Amino acid sequence: MLILGIETSCDDTAAAILDNDRILSNVLSSQDTIHTKFGGVVPELASRSHLQSIYPVIKESLVRAKLCLVDIDLISVTQGPGLMGSLLVGFSFAKAISQVSNIPLVGVDHMAGHILSIFLEDHKPSFPFIALVVSGGTSSIYLAENFTTFSLLGRTRDDAAGEAFDKVAKLLHLPYPGGPHVSREALTGNPEAVKFPRAWLEAESLDFSFSGLKTSVMNHYNQQNRQERDLQLQDICASFQEAVVDVLIGKTILAAEKHGVNTIVLGGGVSSNQRLREELEQRCREKEIAFFVPRPEYCTDNGAMIALAGYYKFGKSGKTSLHDDVYSRSQLG
Ligand code: KG4
């Protein structure tokens, strides 16, 4: 089955073609240069940019796969969660080409794409597994039982992990998106220099909270004079990153132990963070838990993971009605 995957939930316009689970093309147009001067995603600019990019991005995905639209068997598109205006561009475009080309359409949950993105790799996990999905919009832990059954075990109560990285970067006058810049500064910093708080919440809770940590970084930063701030930048980044990584890993391992699962999969844009990847891998090794993480281009938003999630959802539930609409909050689990 040839599947066209379309993703426009936030600030990346992406399209990919899969032959079952094999990638034939994977095209992405990033909006980072548009949003960087505002220090975050501006929803109105994001949807306008999707409008301009969606046709060339889809066309390019077909060209690279050496296919035409008539060859496609299924159109899979992100239906939610995300920014409503951004989602509407991709979903409406997908509906239109589904209608005129008579190709079935399947709307998928963006989170299912992140959970399943590991299956784009050759080395695949077996079910059940615990998935930690960390991105600009979410920090969630799922129990994945098969390709279409996921239970939400924990989620953020306020800021997502990536959002915390972005907000701390803005405070420290680092560019957007902040994660890569904070983690680059952290490389030469001391993670124990500043004791930032870890929000473990109630005993056994698998939920996250990062807004207190962000406020703590702000208070610490505001107490420094300019010279101290410059000297301490790397230490602040390393100490902040360590506080995020500690909690993400602690709760993910707890989830695996609570549910008697011995496989952990990492996904979402924040999984590009080297410290998180290495430390989680190390902790899994100590606990004899199998650890999987896709390469960085499959961790960030992409059309291939949406095509893959659509392939499995279509197999189970069939096509999505053209009367369906987008949604802003995940409906998974
Ligand atoms: O999944 P993703 O591409 O899409 C959105 O949710 O928008 O994730 C983007 C997020 C941003 O918040 C970005 O700062 C964060 O992932 N990110 C990182 C790193 N690379 C990207 N966070 C921490 N460390 C990184 N190396």
Residue 151's pLDDT band, with cuts at 50, 70 and 90, is: very high
What does the alpha-carbon distance between residue 307 and residue 7 come to, in Å, rounded to a whole number?
Answer: 9
User: Nearest-CA neighbor of 26 among 303, 296, 308?
Assistant: 303
Residue 148's pLDDT band, with cuts at 50, 70 and 90, is: very high
- For residue 10, give the ligand 1 atom closest to its CA: 7
Residue 131's pLDDT band, with cuts at 50, 70 and 90, is: very high
Q: Residues enclosing ligand 1, CB less than 6 A?
A: 10, 135-137, 162, 165-166, 177-180, 183, 268-270, 272-273, 300-301
Phi, psi of 194, deg, nearest 5: -120, 130
Residue 59's pLDDT band, with cuts at 50, 70 and 90, is: very high
pLDDT digits (tens, 9 = 90+) for 225-250: 877 877 799 999 999 999 999 999 99
Domains of the chain, residue spans: 2-115+299-317, 123-293
pLDDT mean over 90-97: 98
Q: Is CATH 3.40.50.11400 the classification given to domain 2-115+299-317?
A: no
The identity of residue 333, as a single letter, is: G
Strand ranges, E, within the chain: 2-7, 12-19, 22-30, 74-80, 105-109, 129-134, 139-144, 150-155, 263-267, 290-292
pLDDT mean over 290-297: 96
Report how far apart, in Å, the C-alpha atoms of 186 and of each of 145, 165, 193, 215, 293 are.
36, 12, 11, 19, 21
Ligand 1 geometric centre to CA of 159 (Å): 13
What does the alpha-carbon distance between residue 83 and residue 303 come to, in Å, rounded to a whole number?
Answer: 17
- Asked if residue 39 has pLDDT above 90, the reply is no
- Asked if residue 154 has pLDDT above 80, the reply is yes
- Asked if residue 116 has pLDDT above 90, the reply is yes
Task: Say yes or no: do domains 2-115+299-317 and 123-293 share a fold.
Answer: yes
What does the alpha-carbon distance between residue 233 and residue 236 come to, in Å, rounded to a whole number?
Answer: 5
CA-nearest residue for atom 6, ligand 1, is 136
The identity of residue 194, as a single letter, is: V
Percent of the chain, pLDDT > 70? 100
User: Nearest-CA neighbor of 74 among 113, 18, 23, 25?
Assistant: 18
pLDDT digits (tens, 9 = 90+) for 68-92: 999 999 999 999 999 999 999 999 9
Q: How many residues does the chain have?
A: 333
Geometric angle at alpha carbon 282, from 160 and 200, rounded to 5°: 40
Q: Which of 279, 300, 306, 330 to mutate to test the pocket of ligand 1 (most atoms within 8 A of CB)?
A: 300
Which pair of structure tokens corresponds to residue 76? 């899979």
What does the alpha-carbon distance between residue 319 and residue 301 come to, in Å, rounded to a whole number?
Answer: 23
Cα torsion for 156, 158, 164, 166, to the nearest 10°? 110
DSSP 3-state of 263: strand
Conformational region of residue 67, where left means phi above 0, alpha means psi within -120 to 50, and beta covers everything else: beta
Q: Which contacts qualify for 31-39: CB closer than 8 Å, 24 or more apart?
A: 32/176, 32/177, 35/11, 35/176, 36/175, 36/176, 36/177, 38/176, 39/166, 39/170, 39/176
Q: Which of 28, 249, 270, 293 to mutate to test the pocket of ligand 1 (most atoms within 8 A of CB)?
A: 270
pLDDT mean over 317-324: 97
- For residue 296, give the ligand 1 atom closest to its CA: 20
- Asked if residue 37 has pLDDT above 90, the reply is no
What is the CATH T-level fold of the domain 123-293, as seen in this structure? Nucleotidyltransferase; domain 5 (3.30.420)
- For residue 274, give the ligand 1 atom closest to its CA: 26
pLDDT mean over 124-130: 98
